[in-house]
Every structure is written in structure tokens, then in C-alpha cells.
A and B are shown apart, each in its own frame.
Chain A
Amino acid sequence: MATINVQRPERLTLAERLYLPAILNGLRLTWRHIWGERVTLQYPEEERQFKRVYRGVHRLNKDDKGRVKCVACEMCAASCPAHCITIKATEVEWPERDKIPKIFEIDELKCIFCGYCVEACPEDAIHMTRHYHLIARSREDMIFGLDKLLAIYDETKEQEVLRGVDFGMTHARIPGKEAANPDEVQKLAYPVVGVVTKAETQRAQ
């Protein structure tokens, strides 16, 4: 039989057994916190500053002619782990393209905001914005259709948002872009949302 030697903790001292020093220490700690800094954001007035890679509501991009960029390839739907994307294609008589989505729906309630759709998109047609105000009065309203997703694009056109190239694979393969440093890719691929204190927010503004 093998013997495992276990280092038992020493017996508690009297002070420790009384718990009183520990309790007082705890009280001191909470006391300090009462007068300490507040980390809560006052939401409607203050908004959190997210990193570029925050994954919020989707948008469907428009090309330089203001038309939907999506070609209804359904790669996003294929890669979606929540099966929340529904696409039906139709034919158009555009000189450079002939397939666009007739129906493009994302069920934002089913969506888990993983960003796979952005990564899968070969056309860079779907992005995730930093919008997180997802409000609707019914489940049906939470199914965002083509109009709504394109409208979000118009709202967030200026925003620098999470794009397909921000994911490691695609980023490394885009020629003309400087070769991605692996650490950088890692950082981009896994969005880190830090706590932004009021002070920081003010500093940012």
C-alpha cells in the first residue's frame, strides 16, 4: 500500500478560534469599501466603452452603392451553432452580382453572439456592432429581418466594429495587411471586456 504523506494544517491559534480578529478584519474591509470607489455605470446616462471586438447586435453591410452586400451563401447559417439565421435567396439583374437574400432573418433571442457568422462570411457582409440595446415588445420583433439589419448598418456605419478579419484565421490570410502577430490575433479573437470605471469613462470622453 502506498502511503501518502499529507501535511495537515496546524491547529488554529486561540485568536483564530475566537474568529474575532477575522470578523474585525472583515468589518474593516467592508468599511473601507463603503467609502471606496463605485464601479457601477449609470446606464442610460453613462455607457460602457467596449473594445472593438465586443460582439453586440449584428448588422448587414452595404456596398458602396448602398445595396446589401450579402450574397445569400448561407455560410453564416451553416456555421451558426444556435441555428438562428434563416436565408432565402433571390436573383437580381445587377451587373456584377446576381444573387442576394430575399429573406435574411436573425433570431436575436436564439443568438448566442458567438461571432461565427462574422468569421464564416466570405463577403464581409455581416458584422457585429457594439450595440447592446436589444429591446422589443414581442418575440417576433426580436427576429431581425433584412430591413432592420441594414438599418443597423446605417446607424453604426461610423463605428469600428468586429469584422471577419478580426478573427485569427482570416486575419492571417488577408494579403496586404501586415502579418498578424499571434498574440495580437489571440487578443482580437477573444474579446476582453474590461470594467470601465466612471473615472475611466470620463477620461475617455
Chain B
Amino acid sequence: MISQEQLIVSLVLGLVLMLAMTAGAGVFTFFERKIAGWTQGRYGPNRAGPKGYLQFLADGIKFALKEDVIQDYVVKPVYVIAPGLMMIPALVLYAALPIGKPFVWNGNEVHLQIVQANVGVLYLLAVASIAVYGIVFGAWASNSRYPFFGGVRASAQMISYELAMGLSIISVVLLTSEPGINALSISNIVAGQTGYWFGFIPRWNLFANPVAFFVFLVCMFAETNRLPFDLAEAEQELVGGYHTEYSAMKFASFMLSEYVNMITMSMVMVTLFVGGWHFPGIEAIRSQAIQVLLSIGAFGIKVLFFCFLFLWVRWTLPRFRYDQLMHLGWKALLPVALASALGTAIAIALRV
């Protein structure tokens, strides 16, 4: 049974996160352009509003006011649904993630988590897999060659990398699993990372299994279709990729969902590998309220770091060739992830 307090927190959290994610994605686009500018010796957008901070609003208004073209040859129902399909997984994925330290309210333990699923990890994997449908539907419904290519590429790519991703998450699950603990629960995974080795190294899975972390990192880029893995929308080859035929708000949905996805994936990353809300020294803080607030802050900072990493990498690396992409996914990451999972399992078995 869920306590009343938990219910209130979940509802509030759901609402706040939903808005924050959407708005955050908008701001993210702004910073994407800003950082693109900086890395290239430019200023980036700096005209709309003070120092250009209202640029994302301008973009949004522009998208909203643009003519929404629906071509005659598209498969209309699917075509219209696709952007939504893309948006939904991005907006529900983070429901299973704790964004702060659990606390006690009116005697009930309350988790800063929308849904406290017992099998949160499975939830993550399941929802993340849905995202590919948005792309494939959009591409297919467009009834046009370039989007179709983009869609096919995206599906192949996402399916390929999901394997490695899943295996790296298995490492995490193995690290968490102890007798009597539900290792598939995300709260438990975070809780499992709260201790220290030798008294000062946090027991973050990042340090416990760097290989799995690395595999997950790469897969994170691939899953979100970000450079260097954005072959689904390689403009040099495919005009605009799967969303070539989209315009106005529908196109904006694709765009936005990509950014929401990035934030979400960063959150997943932080949760699974970088200790979630945990930060060294959290135990020393006496006040529960401060502890909770700082834990939320720590979580946010970690997420922001990974968001920044997305941008940083994007403006550093060139795009992979498709065969290289497949090669990397199947012949490099998959064996490494397998080995890592196996190694983790063996290590745990030996220790236990």
C-alpha cells in the first residue's frame, strides 16, 4: 500500500518533472546552440532577450506559428501519431527514477520517485525500447525515400545497441544483488551505491565496473540518436532523415523528444552508475531537509554534467559510418558488455 504522503509527493513530482522536462528540453536546445557557438569560437545566439536567453521561446513561437504541412502522400493517422509516440516514452521513462534521498514524512518513508516499481530496471528497458516506434512510424508514414532510410537505420541501430545496453545494466543489477534485496528495484540500486570503499571512494557502480559504465555511455548516445550516432538524420545523405517530411509543431515534437530523451538518459545514467542522488559526505549532514535538498541538487548537477557531455561530444566528434556503427555495436560493445557482465558475476560469486 502506498502511503498518503507518498501519493502526494508522487503526484507533485510527476507534475513538476513533466513541466521541468519539457521546459528543460527547450532550454537545452538553446544551450546546444550556445555551446556549438562556443566550441567554434562564436558567441551563439545572443540577440533574443537578454543575452539571447529567450531564444528558445522565439524558436518555440516560431514552430507554433509555422504552417503545418501534411503532404498528400503520407499515411495520415500514423504520420500524425508518430511524433506523439516519440514523445511518450521520453516523458514516462523517468517515472521510475529517484531524484533525491528518501525521507520520513509523518512517520512514513517517502521516496522522491513517481513510481516505486519493484522491477524498475525492466520498466526502463521496456519503455526505452518503445522510442524506436516513433521514429519508424514517422519514417514509414512519410511515404518518402529519405525518411524511410532514416527509419530503417534508426531501428537497426537502436535494436543493436539495446543489447549492449541491457548487458551493461545486468552488470549493475548483479552488483546490487544481495540476498534479500530486490536488485531490480531502482531505489535499491541507488541505495546500493551509498557506501564507501576504503572509507572514501563512493561505492558508485562507475567505479565498481567502469567497463559497464563505458558501454552504457556509448549506448546512451546511440539510443538517443546523438552524434556520433545520428545516422537516422544524417543530413548530408538523407536530407533530414526520418523527419524530413515533418514541419511546424510535429517537427518540434521530434526535436523536443530528442532533447527530453537526452535528459532522461542522463538521469538513467546517473541513477545506475553515478550513485543517483548520493554524494560523498551526505551522511555528515544532520538535518533531513538539507540532506534531501542537497541530494536533489547533487542529482541535478550530475544530470547536467551528462547533458553537457552530450553537447560536448556532439561538437567534437564526427559522425560514424554506418558499417562502423554496426561493427562497434555488434563486434565491440556486445562482447565487451558480455564479458563485463560475466566478470561481474564471477567476481560477486567469488566474493560471496
Hey, which bits of chain A sit against chain B, CB under 8 A? 23, 26-27, 29-31, 33-40, 42
Q: What residues on B are CB-neighbors of A38 within 8 Å?
A: 41-43
Within B230-278, the residues touching A (CB, 8 Å) are: none
CB atoms of B41 and A30 under 8 A apart: no
Within B11-57, the residues touching A (CB, 8 Å) are: 35, 37-43
The number of chain B residues touching the other chain, given as a range, is 10 to 19
The residue that B43 contacts in the complex, of A33, A34, A40, with Cβ under 8 A, is A40
Contact with A along B288-318 (1 / 0, CB 8 A): 0000000000000000000000001101110
CB atoms of B43 and A26 under 8 A apart: no
CB atoms of A33 and B40 under 8 A apart: yes
Q: What residues on B are CB-neighbors of A42 within 8 Å?
A: 43
Given A23-B317, A26-B317, A34-B35, A39–B41 Cβ distance below 8 Å? yes
CB atoms of B42 and A31 under 8 A apart: no
CB atoms of A30 and B42 under 8 A apart: no
A30, B40: Cα distance in complex, Å: 8
Q: Name which residue of chain B comes closest to A25, CB basis.
A: B316
Contact with A along B58-93 (1 / 0, CB 8 A): 000000000000000000000000000000000000
Q: What residues on B are CB-neighbors of A29 within 8 Å?
A: 316
Q: What residues on B are CB-neighbors of A37 within 8 Å?
A: 41
CB atoms of B38 and A34 under 8 A apart: yes
Instruction: Return the 10 tightest CB-CB contacts between A and B, nearest first.
Output: A34-B38, A30-B316, A26-B316, A39-B41, A30-B39, A40-B42, A33-B39, A40-B43, A27-B316, A38-B43
Q: What residues on B are CB-neighbors of A26 within 8 Å?
A: 316-317
CB atoms of A30 and B43 under 8 A apart: no
A183, B312: Cα distance in complex, Å: 45
Q: Name which residue of chain A comes closest to B324, CB basis.
A: A19
CB atoms of A23 and B41 under 8 A apart: no
A34, B313: Cα distance in complex, Å: 13
